Every structure is written in structure tokens, then in C-alpha cells.
Amino acid sequence: MVIVMNPKATEKDISDVTNTLKSLGLGVHVSKGAHVTIIGVIGDKSILADTPLELMSGVDKIVHIMESYKLAGRTFKPESSVIQVKNAPIGGKELAIIAGPCAVESEEQLIKTAQAVKKCGAQFLSGGAYKPRTSPYAFQGLEEDGFKMLAQAREETGLLIVSEVISANSVEIALKYIDVVQIGARNMQNFQLLREVGKAGCPVILKRGLSATIEEWINAAEYIMNEGNYNIIFCERGIRTFETYTRNTLDISAVPVIKQISHLPIIVDPSHGTGKWRLVEPMAMAAIAAGADGLMIEVHHDPKCALSDGPQSITPDNFSHLVQRINKLAPIMDRQYNIVH
Ligand code: PEP
Ligand code: MN
């Protein structure tokens, strides 16, 4: 918190304010400019609740510079968090690779893709059972049947399952079948849903909202953490800008920003981030080079026939190429990633 004194404030006004702060045990840093004196206040500001500093003589305004979030911030927890999903850690030295079709379409489609991404070394299979589509006429997902197919794919491949939830009801159903729930971009500020996954306690991938600032995004995590669930992984998936060549503008700078101000891990989704399959691999490389803890990639065995997001889906062959390049980059970033053949 910073107290900006009025240009007409006297020396006595300034010392009255600093003495009041010191008498409450707060640290005080005074910076005297040519016209204005600014007083920086250090310590637990909650004790100022009953001290109306704004009313003291010579005080112009009070500026609160403390973050609007607490639990998700590094001030609260300086060391990086590692989210453990069964035997797979997210946020440690090992990169987390999540891959799968945008939507679960059929048993055959899912298992083909699951086996292919497993062969390349992905630890997680993603697939949407509930699809929050922009158009109400587009394919909306197989719902619980989709979760059943995902659970079946886990049985057959050992991959851990990530899938989106869109309502309190879908959280309850999802947790019977899957390992990590995903909050999609369109629901990042669905506070009721955030509270629901907070109560559920399960690992959560929290995608960045379409037009969300980093602070709004961290506050969405704060809603989940406030319910006692600290198992959150941020996912940068691109934001809306004036650029229309790509579907979204992938904000790679969000990766080091989140790393600096939050202890939670962050992964990147270059599929939704670009909307174009040819851009997925270069942006995946950029994400890992920027310090991301993992990737979320849309893979389809036949993208031109995909029921959802075909243009940004890569084939298993292209996914294999991508992970081989990530594997070369990983040691440079002091990360581990091993292709399992
Ligand atoms: C998805 O993962 O398929 C999806 C809908 O992503 P987003 O919420 O980032 O648009
Ligand atoms: Mn998609």
C-alpha cells in the first residue's frame, strides 16, 4: 500500500501519518519528490481497517498495490507447486504431455488416437465429452458415454484422462471416470463451477478465458483454492486480439509471467492458441522454450473428418514429429521428457 500526500501537506502532516503507521507496528518508507511525498507501507495492512488514513490531514489518496489474489501467489507460497495426478507429476522437472481429439466421437476413433499418442510418450489422454461449442447446432459431445469411452481408453493404455466439465452436474459424472477436470476458456469465470471443482478436490486444468487478463485468470484459480483445492494447472490457450489470421493470439509471455507471480504450474495449448495445425509444432516449441510445464495438443487420426476443431488437429505422425523435437529441446530447458517406443 502506498499513501500519496497532497502537494500542500506539511512536515507535521507527514510525520503524523508515519507516526500513526509506526505505532501500529507497520514498516514505513518515505519518498520525498519535488512536489509530492509518497509513503510506502509494509506489513499486515489489515490492522488499518479501523484507522481511516484517508481522513488525516495532508493525505491525498491511498493506493493498494497488493495483489487481488493470495493463495495462488508466490508471496503466499514462494516454492513452485507440483501437482500430482496419480503417478504423473505436473510442474516438476518432467514435462507433461496431454494429447487427444477435441471431442470423443466413437470408441474406435478414441482408442486409435490414444494408442498413437501413448506410443509417442504422452502421459495423458484428453478428449471432450461435453463440448461447449460456439454454435448450438454444432456437435455438443457424447456426454457420459464419452467419459465411459475415455475410462475404457485408460484401461487399455494406462494414460491418465483429462476432460472438460461445464456444470456442477457434469463434475459429479466426470469424477466417476476421469483423472483431471478441465475448465474451458468459456467457463473461466463461471464462479459456481469454479467453486464446485474447488469442493471436489480433484486436479483441475484451468484454461485462460477468451479475453481474460492474467490477473482475472489467477483470481479464477483463487476461487478454486478458496474451497481448499490447490491442485490447479493453468493452461494458456490464446486470447482475442485484433489479429484474425490465427484463431487466437497465443500469449507465450503469459508463461514466464505466471511463473513469476504464481507458484502453480502452467501448460500451453497451441492448438486452440493458433487454430491452424501447421502452427502447432512451432508454438509448442516456443511454449517449452518459454518455460511451460507441459503441452496440451489436439490429435486426430483423420483431421479432415473430425467433428470438432479438425483444422487445428494434427495427425499422429505429426504429433510424433512434435514430441521428438520437444525431446531435443527439453534438456536445454533443464527438463526431462522421454519418448517411449
Ligand atoms: C477444448 O479443449 O477443446 C476447448 C474447447 O478449449 P478452450 O476452452 O480453450 O476453447
Ligand atoms: Mn477443441
Coil, helix or strand for 206?
Answer: strand
Residue 110 burial (C-beta neighbours within 10 Å; 0-12, 13-18, 19+): buried
Which residues have C-beta within 8 Å of that of residue 14, sequence separation ≥ 6? 5, 30, 37, 39, 58
CA–centroid distance, 218 to ligand 1, in Å, is 18
Ligand 1 binding residues, C-beta < 6 A: 102, 128, 184-186, 207, 237, 272
Using the mean position of ligand 2's atoms as its centre, give its distance from the Cα of residue 7 in Å. Answer: 55
Q: Name the residues around ion ligand 2, CB cutoff 5 A.
A: 102, 309
Ligand nearest to the CA of 312: 2
pLDDT below 70 — which residues of the chain? 65-66, 338-341
Residue the block writes with cell 454454435: 135
Pocket test for ligand 1, best of 236, 272, 296 (most atoms within 8 A of CB): 272
Element (H, E) at 108: helix 107-120
Residue with cell 470423443: 104
Parallel, antiparallel or unpaired: strands 180-183 and 160-165: parallel
Of all protein residues, whose CA lies closest to atom 4 belonging to ligand 1? 184
- Rounded distance from Cα 272 to ligand 2 centre (Å): 6
**How far is 240 from 270, CA to CA, in rounded Å?**
14
Q: Give CA separation, 244 vs 50, 185, 234, 237, 239, in Å.
A: 51, 18, 25, 15, 11
Residue 341 is predicted with a pLDDT of: 42
Burial class (CB in 10 A: 0-12, 13-18, 19+), 276: middle
What pLDDT does residue 340 have?
54
